[in-house]
Structure 1
Amino acid sequence: MNTPVPETEGTPRLSINRWSCRTTGIQEFLEATAAAGIEAVGLWRQDVEEIGRDALRRRTDDAGLRVSSLCRGGFLTAAPAAERTAALDENRRAIDEAVALGAPTLVMVVGGLSREDKDVVAARGRVTEGIAALAPYAESAGITLSLEPMHPMFAADRSVLSTTHQALDIAEQVGSPAVGVVVDTYHVWWDPQLAGAIRRAAEADRLLAYQVCDWNLPLAAEPLFSRGYMGDGFVDFPAITTLIRDAGYRGDIEVEIFNEDVWATPVAESIRIIAERFEQLVLPHA
């Protein structure tokens, strides 16, 4: 279900996720990305909230950029009925925003646990129910839902899905062609079953997106901010990217870095480094 990207004279297949330049204003980010010859960006709903979805679409179009994904939907693990209903309504709004922005997929961070309800199996069951409720709406809108497994250290607060196989289990239980997975190197590089999971996703036509960044040490006080430039940490990008390529993925490859040092770097310089590392470590194997 991944859409092959068009030929480009810049850096082919590279998309810059908005949060790689989180502290840069949205207009400056779009202009810097386009000026670097990059043709795609991953956007976040925070910018939609700030300037409106129609204004954001106009700015993206005016910069000559495609939208590779929208972050983020999900947070479907709450037990109380009212909270679950509100979460479904919010996710339908996110799907509408993805349509308006021209994003083919909505990245789904499914949610964690509460101190009152620590039943992780039940929480995963509620995720399955929530995705099943959203899938027909997404399918009718022409949007896919990319379930994002996250490193196990985030299971308590962000995602009760820790492996690609777990995400695929839910996608297959739901059964909709609109539901699949995103492989994010930061979260899954450690998984000894990753190769088989990528093959499984490809065979089921559920490999929807590929995101890259490195795993840096020492971990930051906020571990999410330990994502780094490719080559600065411990991820084997040639190996994982080869698995993705051999699985038939031909879509955008989105660089998503949360790192305070990267955010403090002038945006043109950080995008230059991203493109350089992408061309060295990822693109030759894609």
Structure 2
Amino acid sequence: MADSSKASLNSATVEGCDLRQCVEGCVRHGFAGISPWRDLVQAAGIGESARMIRDSGLEVTGLCRAGMFTAPTPAGRQAALDDNRRAVDEAVAIGANCLVLVAGGLPEGSKDLADARAQIEDGLGALLDHARPAGMPLAIEPLHPMYAADRASVNTLGQANDLCDRLGDGVGLAVDVYHLWWDPELEAQIRRAGKERILAFHVCDWLVPTRHLLTDRGMMGDGVIDIPKIRSWVEGVGYDGLYEVEIFSELDWWTRDRDEVMATVRSRIESAV
């Protein structure tokens, strides 16, 4: 199984913690990395967040999240681009390995999926003009097709690879097993991506039954995803980064003591990742 010393904690796993509590918890439980959400970084202040993380010695596996490129009006798309540029600057400031992007779904009032995907590609291209000079890689995170309408119209690793082919340097992938485990082409698309494109590897589990499609992710080992197999595919192409644990769990893990959650994450990486 996986080496628990390579654990990174996505701050969403311990809902209700501020950035300092997340950082201190990661250090206390021996995590190697952290992936904060932007609201925590903004609440602590960009400069203070950077100092806090730097002093902790934690690797920043990613900043969550940017994207949401789609909008029904040009003004809305420009506002999204402006916010994404700020996100790039925040990611640079805290030393993140990448900026994780959730692409955006159908614009309000639209049923045109092709147009949404075109808006996403245009938005990514425009953001790259800011991200490349800043040296901040953009990580497209394909989301499960259940989110195609409201969160992300990029739903397979194949679609994300196609975007990378067309957009060129500076853009790669966040491989999240929760969103991709079902895809019969996943192994082939991981091979296609290769080491250079895989910027982040996210783990949790798919519960059966799933009580809520957004906030009922499982702790590794509690669901049906063969996480070790997917990890072997990712590491088989040369990925040697940390394992980022991102669990939205309103009905279970978010109700528990944060130290219990963090200790369980460490142990489950060894037993179930």
Please report how far the alpha carbon of residue 117 of structure 1 lies from its aligned counterpart in structure 2 after TM superposition.
1.2
Query: CA offset at residue 40 of structure 1?
Result: 0.7
Instruction: Assess if the C-alpha contact under 8 Å between 1:217 and 1:226 holds in 2.
Output: no
Aligned: 1:267 with 2:258: yes
Answer yes or no: is 1:122 the counterpart of 2:112. no
1:258 aligns with 2:248: yes
Tell me how far apart the structure 1 counterparts of residues 108 and 11 of structure 2 sit (CA, whole Å).
32
* DSSP 3-state at the match of 1:165: helix
Partner residue, 1:131 = 124
Counterpart contact for 1:53–1:101, Cα < 8 Å: yes
- Other-structure match for 2:186: 194
> For 1:169-212, what per-residue CA distance to the aligned partner results, in whole angstroms no more than 9, with x for missing partners?
1111112x210111100000000010111011107x21111100
Distance 1:173 1:62 in 2: 39
Paired position in structure 2 for 1:97 = 90
Taking structure 2 as the reference length, the TM-score comes to 0.95
CA contact (8 A) 1:112 1:155 kept: yes
On the 8 A contact 2:81/2:123 being kept in 1, the answer is yes
**Equivalent in the alignment of 2:269:** 278
Pick from 164, 170, 195 the counterpart of residue 163 of structure 2: 170
The answer as to 2:237 corresponding to 1:247 is yes
User: Which secondary structure does the structure 1 equivalent of 2:71 belong to?
Assistant: coil
Counterpart residue number, 1:88:
81
Structure 2 gaps, min length 5 = none
2:36, 2:50 → 1: CA distance? 10
* 1:43-82 equivalence runs, <5 A: 43-82=36-75
Question: 2:202 and 2:41 mapped to 1: Cα distance?
Answer: 21
What percent identity do the matched residue pairs reach?
A: 43
Q: What is the CA RMSD across the aligned residues, in angstroms?
A: 1.4
Paired residue type of 1:207: I
State TM-score, norm by structure 1: 0.91
Q: CA deviation at 1:115?
A: 4.5
Give the secondary-structure state (helix, strand or coil) at the position aligned to 2:110.
coil
SS in 2 for 1:32: helix
Aligned length: 270
Preserved contact between residue 128 and residue 173 of structure 1 (Cα < 8 Å): no
- After TM superposition, give the deviation of residue 82 of structure 1 in Å: 0.8
Distance 1:187 1:75 in 2: 17
CA contact (8 A) 2:220 2:268 kept: yes
- Partner SS state of residue 215, structure 1: coil
1: CA distance between counterparts of 2:108 and 2:135?
37
**Long gaps (5+) in structure 1:** 1-9
